[in-house]
């Protein structure tokens, strides 16, 4: 569940003076990702990579292709998880408390500012939830190139999730791009 929430936090956008404005201004994004989950001591606990797609207001595609083959697709408040290795498909409704970082980063700026305090520079932004019981205690987003973003999420246990997003050039996405593939196990 934690990697699902992690996956939803991520969004990558082109550089501008206000990184946060770039997050909330874009309608959709797609590309490749790498993800490392680190212990509070900095030990790598898990590594994965794959492809992602995000589309406002609430469409999410996170396909892990290595080391396993798993897909998470969210549309509205519904989440479908497909695990080809375990031959399992799980569909469920997402609760209000499961709002992910992606939900927030795709939200309008006013909505985002009501839920987080922020520290923004020309190339990075740090979001700190106003609710001290929030699962993620800090989200840091830095842009290294127009197509390369690094996102670090810090959870309540002190673990961090480090994401690298390599965005494809301008991609036009539609809700139909988030259809769960049919599987037969």
Q: Tell me the C-alpha to C-alpha distance, in Å, between residue 162 and each of 6, 10, 149.
A: 9, 10, 11
| Cβ contacts of 176 within 8 Å, gap of 6 or more | none
The pair of three-digit structure tokens given for residue 50, joined into one six-digit string: 């794959």
Q: What angle do CA 45, 33, 160 make, to 5 degrees?
A: 35
> 20 versus 135: which is more confidently predicted?
135
Cis ω before 85 (30° cut-off from 0): no
- Out of 2.50.20.10, 3.40.47.10, 2.60.120.480, 3.20.20.70, the CATH code matching 2-166 is 2.50.20.10
The pTM for the full model equals: 0.80
Is 48 a residue whose pLDDT tops 60?
yes
pLDDT of amino acid 29: 85
Q: Report the candidate in 151, 117, 109, 119 with the shortest Cα–Cα distance to residue 134.
A: 117
Contact 96, 89 (CB under 8 A): no
The pair of three-digit structure tokens given for residue 120, joined into one six-digit string: 């923004």
pLDDT of amino acid 23: 58
* CA 161/CA 12 separation, integer angstroms: 16
pLDDT of amino acid 76: 79
Q: What is the mean pLDDT of residues 142-161?
A: 88
Domain ranges for the chain, please list them: 2-166
pLDDT of amino acid 96: 61
Residue 7 host element (H or E):
helix 2-9
- Report the number of secondary-structure helices (H) and strands (E) in the chain: 4, 11
pLDDT of amino acid 109: 74
């Amino acid at each position: 569940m934690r990697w699902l929430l992690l996956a939803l936090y991520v969004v990558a956008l082109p550089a501008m003076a206000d990184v946060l404005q770039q997050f909330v201004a874009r309608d959709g994004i797609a590309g490749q990702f790498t993800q490392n989950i680190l212990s509070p001591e900095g030990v790598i606990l898990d590594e994965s990579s794959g492809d992602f797609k995000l589309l406002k207001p609430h469409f999410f595609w996170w396909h892990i292709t290595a080391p396993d083959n798993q897909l998470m697709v969210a549309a509205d408040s519904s989440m479908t998880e497909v695990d080809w290795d375990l031959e399992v498909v799980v569909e469920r409704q997402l609760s209000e408390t499961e709002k992910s970082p992606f939900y927030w980063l795709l939200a309008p700026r006013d909505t985002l500012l009501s839920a987080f305090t922020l520290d923004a520079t020309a190339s990075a932004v740090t979001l700190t939830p106003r609710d001290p019981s929030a699962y993620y205690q800090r989200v840091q987003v830095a842009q290294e190139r127009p197509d390369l973003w690094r996102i670090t999420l810090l959870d309540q246990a002190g673990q961090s999730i480090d994401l690298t997003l390599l965005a494809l050039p301008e991609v036009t996405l539609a809700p139909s791009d988030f259809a769960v593939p049919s599987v037969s196990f």
